Amino acid sequence: MTTTTLRKWGGATAVSLPKAVLAMLDLRPGSEVAVSVRGKTIVLAPAHRRPTLAQLEKEQRALERARGKSPADAQWLDGPARGKEAL
């Protein structure tokens, strides 16, 4: 376990995290973290934001370009029902 010291920073109190801890969690200055309290323990964790629809679409287009084609949706869209689908 590593210890650190709380410091006054303007009207707030800040904690300095060692470089090794930041590297293990792939964090850098400006990274967002989620702060929670469990009993008398402060828990910091990397914040995971949900991607926007635009980000997901951009990623999908990049994957399709990398594969050289779009997914073969026609195979399952035009195929017969296999369960209790309501068409």
pLDDT tens profile 8-24: 999 999 999 999 989 99
Domain membership of residue 78 (yes or no) is no
Distance of CA 25 to the CA centre of its chain: 12
pLDDT tens profile 34-43: 999 999 999 9
Task: Find the mean pLDDT for residues 49-55.
Answer: 87
Q: Tell me phi and psi for residue 7, to 5 degrees.
A: -130, 150
Q: Judging by DSSP bridges, how do beta strands 6-9 and 12-15 pair with one another?
A: antiparallel
Domain boundaries, position 36: 6-46
∠ CA 46-49-55, nearest 5°, is 135
56: Cβ–Cβ under 8 A, 6 or more apart, which residues? none
Domain membership of residue 76 (yes or no) is no
**Does residue 3 have a pLDDT over 70?**
yes
CATH of the domain at 39: 2.10.260.10
